[in-house]
Amino acid sequence: MNASERTPADLLRSALAADPARPLVTFYDDATGERVELSVATFANWVAKTANMLQDDLSAGPGDRVALLLPAHWQTAVWLLACASVGATAEIGGDPAEADVVVSGPGTLDAARACGGERVALALRPLGGRFPQPPEGFADYAVEVPSHGDRFVPYAPVDPAGAALRVQEPDGGAPIELTAAALVARAAADADKRGLGAGSRILSALPYGTWEGLSAGLYAPLAAGGSVVLCRNIEQLSAESLAQRVASERVTDRAL
């Protein structure tokens, strides 16, 4: 991290400039057997397309609130960086009724209908697949996002002092709200505490519902120039299988 990196989008741009081919997010779902590995370039391409969708189709920008009703998943990581790219506030598990945009997985569609603004649904199927039948009242992300551009330029520069993230603290108290600059600083501090650096590879099985899970599962390795092995439903693995994954993925740190 350097002084010019004041927003999460800045961190991604720096990673892209440094080594676009290296892995950034490797995702496992041990309930389905899915494994997806995204290089920095591939991840940044998904972020650009999603940010263009947010800005052009959903009219989201600075000051808007995007409720993300999503689990720890590679597509959730994409949406977090897309929100940061347009300057909107990402709210993990936020109240859809108070949000300008809601983004929902298949298990939270009923709750997401409380949003009076734009609604997007993610099937969370392997390889980013679409819903067999699009949910009524929602745009199917997998259908809509491919047509958007591979490069993103915000209509207005993102203010590092603007709200970027709202999430629960691990103690279950009131949610915290972080500006873009505060998020980057906190992620860098967490990376230092963990001893993460360029080439570090952290395996995280923590949910994205708290800062701890978001930090270990995305922001800290991104700030450090490392990568994350993001695991969903890891409790279905045996100890032997987990050890094999740690070895095969060259994991240097774990958050379980």
pLDDT value of position 169:
72
The pLDDT confidence band at residue 170, using thresholds 50, 70 and 90, is low
Q: Give the tens place of pLDDT for each residue, 181-237.
A: 999 999 999 999 999 999 999 999 999 999 999 999 999 999 999 999 999 999 999
For residue 198, give the 3-state DSSP assignment: coil
Q: Which of 25-39, 63-77, 166-180 has the lowest mean pLDDT?
A: 166-180
Q: Is the pLDDT of residue 71 over 60?
A: yes
pLDDT tier, 171 (very low <50, low <70, confident <90, very high otherwise): low
Q: Which of 78, 92, 244 is nearest to 165 (CA)?
A: 92
Which structure tokens are listed for 186? Answer: 């906190």
**Residue 41 contacts residue 25 (beta carbons within 8 Å):** no
Segment 39-43 shows an average pLDDT of 98
The residue with tokens 């949003």 is 115
When pLDDT is cut at 50, 70 and 90, the band that residue 247 belongs to is very high
Tally of CB atoms within 10 A around 189: 14
Q: How confident is the model at residue 174 (pLDDT cuts 50, 70, 90)?
A: confident
Walk across the sheet containing 65-69 and list its strands.
139-140, 118-121, 101-104, 65-69, 89-92, 163-167, 176-179
Cβ proximity of 120 and 138 under 8 Å: yes
Q: What confidence score (pLDDT) does residue 1 get?
A: 56
Question: Tens digit of pLDDT for each residue in 75-86?
Answer: 999 999 999 999
Q: In this predicted model, what pLDDT tens digit does every residue of 76-132 receive, in sequence order?
A: 999 999 999 999 999 999 999 999 999 999 999 999 999 999 999 999 999 899 999
Q: And the tokens for 63? A: 């000051």
pLDDT of residue 236: 95
- Which pLDDT belongs to residue 161? 97
Q: Chain-wide mean pLDDT for the chain?
A: 96
Amino acid identity of residue 64, one-letter, is D
The structural domains of the chain, ordered by start, are 8-255 (3.40.50.12780)
Does pTM top 0.75 for this prediction?
A: yes
Average pLDDT over residues 58-81: 97
- Look at residue 2 and tell me whether its pLDDT is greater than 90: no
pLDDT band at 74 (very low <50, low <70, confident <90, very high): very high
Confidence category of residue 4, pLDDT binned at 50, 70, 90: confident
